[in-house]
Amino acid sequence: MAAVTADQTTQSTSGTAEAAGQAVGTAPDAADAARLAVFDAAVAADDRIEPRDWMPEAYRATLVRQMAQHAHSEIIGMQPEANWITRAPSLRRKAILMAKVQDEAGHGLYLYSAAETLGTSREELLDKLHAGRQRYSSIFNYPTLTWADVGAIGWLVDGAAITNQVPLCRCSYGPYARAMVRICKEESFHQRQGYELLLALSRGTEAQHAMAQDAVDRWWWPSLMMFGPPDDASSHSEQSMAWKIKRHSNDELRQRFVDIAVPQAEALGLTLPDPDIRWNEERGQHDFGAIDWTEFQEVLKGNGPCNEQRITQRRRAHEEGAWVRDAAAAYAAKHTTPSTRTAQPAQHVEETA
């Protein structure tokens, strides 16, 4: 690799010395500059950064922040839908919903595992979530008031999640990108089940249609907020896009989601609660109304309708699951002692014989 000059490093995707993980005010030494050049070249060439590769500390911190928030969203996101498992209207619907909620737990685990490759443990991330030091998605602070909310979550929330997450399959950090491939496949199934559920309600009785419409009315705007603040208020987007963690800005993805959702709503026979939605011939995209960013900020501050309930339930589930973690750790310890290690193959032969 060619040596790099100080000028070249200041033009790096890592922006400032601080972003590159150097103490502000100190000149990068030659080794730092060389490592940074290798990192920047890999990002520029669309190569993947892997766990053992050198990376700027700020890149690592940004990934931990985003991946932790993502993982926390998956497991907290189990709560609103799990609320309806016991009241699903048929065995088929119950089986589908149970599978979906389990999938979300799985997504959380892939993401915590991917975050572990950055040198942070799942335990540490969960402690931060429980202490309110890391976020989860604003969307999960809204209540699921009727069965139709399960459909609206599938269609809109999973739909927004996919729109945001498909580009993450091309994220510059390898373990995150690879985790996203499987997650997106499962999310796409989730989105279809929500759409199918809403279609059944929309084509059902008058009361069922009204229930579906009410759910869409309540979930539409919070779903648009999932994409994050508008670009001019997004503190991390510019750097995350330079590092190719994010491939598109918050507003770009939000627009893409609106353009996908509008014809789908028509096909469902439902309306979106925004009188300003209309096709803009010039832009080749839909215009839509103003989002209530005050509501978004309030939810982020902890003042949403269910913030308290969600985090209390999460802490309780963690405490009540302590015995499972202890048992799993005891089992793992037992099976790594020399005596059980030698005993295992014989047992395996007997069982498979």
Element (H or E) spanning 278, and its range? strand 278-280
Closest to ligand FAQ by CB, 38 or 61: 61
Residue 274 in contact with ligand FAQ, rule: CB under 6 A: no
Counting contacts by CB under 6 A, is residue 237 touching ligand FAQ? yes
Q: Residue 114 CB, nearest distance to ligand FAQ (Å)?
A: 12
- Binding residues for ligand FAQ, total number by CB under 6 A: 30
- Helix residue ranges, H only, the chain: 6-10, 30-44, 57-76, 78-82, 91-116, 122-130, 148-152, 158-165, 174-202, 206-225, 237-242, 250-268, 293-300, 307-320, 322-334, 338-352
* Contact window for ligand FAQ (CB under 6 A) among 18-26, 118-126, 133-141, 205-213: 133-141
Minimum distance of ligand FAQ from residue 221's CB (angstroms)? 12
Please report the sign of the dihedral spanned by the C-alpha atoms of residue 194, residue 199, residue 202, residue 204.
Answer: negative
Q: Which residue is it, tokens 């309708």?
A: 305
CA 296, CA 80: separation in Å to the nearest integer?
A: 18
CB of 75 to ligand FAQ, least distance (A): 8
Which one of residues 28, 56, 77, 304 is an interface residue with ligand FAQ (CB under 6 A)?
77
CA angle 105, 75, 293 (to 5 degrees): 140
Q: Is 236 in the site for ligand FAQ (CB under 6 A)?
A: yes
The two structure tokens encoding residue 70:
């993502």
73 lines the binding site for ligand FAQ (CB under 6 A): yes
Give 189's contacts (C-beta < 8 A, 6+ positions apart): none
Mask of contacts with ligand FAQ, 299-338, x by CB under 6 A? -x--------------------------------------
Separation CA 318–CA 128 (nearest Å)? 13
Does 74 contact ligand FAQ by CB under 6 A?
A: yes
Q: Is 186 a residue that touches ligand FAQ (CB under 6 A)?
A: no
Neighbouring-strand partners of residue 280: 285
Q: Does 153 bind ligand FAQ (CB under 6 A)?
A: yes
Terminal C-alpha separation, the chain: 55
Contact between 66 and ligand FAQ by CB under 6 A: the answer reads: yes
Site for ligand FAQ, rule CB under 6 A? 65-66, 69-70, 73-74, 77, 104, 135, 137-138, 153, 157-158, 161, 164-165, 225-229, 234-237, 240, 246, 250, 300
